[in-house]
Structures are given as C-alpha cells and as structure tokens.
Amino acid sequence: MKGLPLSGARSLIFPALFLAGWLCLCVATPAQQPQQPVPPVPPEQTTAPPQNAPRTGESSTNKTSSKIPPFVILGTVFDEKAMAYPGVQVRVRLKGEKKFKWDTYTNSRGEFAVRVPEGPDYEVFVHVKHFQDVSQFVSAKGAVIQQQLSIKMQPVSQVKAGEKK
C-alpha cells in the first residue's frame, strides 16, 4: 500500500482533529436553558411607603415639619456699576424681630431665593464688605406666592485723612 507523503498526512490530520474536538464539545455540552422572567411586583406589594404617607408613629395631621413653605422671596443683587454681584450675604427675618431666621448667599449671577411661610411681613437684609447695608420689606400676604426684588448696592464713601465728615 502506498501512503501519502508525510506533509500531506499532516495537512489532513490537523483538520480531522479539529473537527473531532468540535464535535465532542457540541455533543458533550448541554444546551443552555433560557432564564425564567421575573414576574412584575404589583404596586401594593412594594416595600417603600408612598412619599407623602405618614411615618410609623406619626399622625397624618402633623405635616408642618415636612411641608415646604409656600412663599418665595427672589432677588438679584447688583453692584454700583449694575453688574450682578455673586457671594453677597442675604438674611431674612420677621418684621420687628432682631434675630434672623433665614440666611443665604447670592449665586454666580447675583441671584438668591428664600422660601418662607406666607402671612407675616419680612425684612430682607443684604450685607457685603465695602458697601452700605440694604434693607427691604416684603409682605407675604394675599394671593401672591412670590416677591421679586432688585437690590443695587452703593459703596461706602471713603473719608480721606484730614477731611471733616
């Protein structure tokens, strides 16, 4: 019997072994079963309570602690050149009181917003170094839910040495 040349035998052996290995993998490996879909949870079975539901031990009538005040005092603070003034301290207190209840700073565009309860009158006090303090009154009564303020700061006049005030 006459055999194939050695190089021809090698060229047939490699594909035959590859085919045999591939068949073993296909026959020996079971087909993967698809996963069962997870059934949707009905809304009544969720674990988290609704956002506006009272917590355990809390009555539904005690909503004042989590209620957002309805009246908004908005404003923009400008310097003497009518440019927006960022980083200015803005404090709000009830009219006639000495202690401030709300405190904020203007953003990069000189704007601020403070939420307060509606009803009473408020004093908005604006303070920044080297400028005169500005105070404005806001009434939170009536059907209006916000008050827009525009505050222009004036520099403190510098008294030179030797001049009389």
Cβ neighbours of residue 29 closer than 8 Å, sequence gap 6 or more: none
Res 34: pLDDT: 64
pLDDT at residue 106 is higher than 90:
yes
The arithmetic mean of pLDDT across residues 51-62, rounded, is: 50
Q: Which of 84, 87, 126 is nearest to 109 (CA)?
A: 84
Mean of pLDDT over the chain: 77
Domains detected in the chain: 71-152 (2.60.40.10)
At 81, is the pLDDT very low, low, confident or very high (cuts 50, 70, 90)?
Answer: very high
Q: pTM of the full predicted structure?
A: 0.55
Position 59 scores a pLDDT of: 47
Task: Tell which wins on pLDDT, 7 or 118.
Answer: 118
Q: What is the per-residue pLDDT across 61-80, written as a single tens digit (0 to 9) for each? A: 555 556 777 899 999 999 99
pLDDT digits (tens, 9 = 90+) for 21-37: 666 555 555 555 666 66
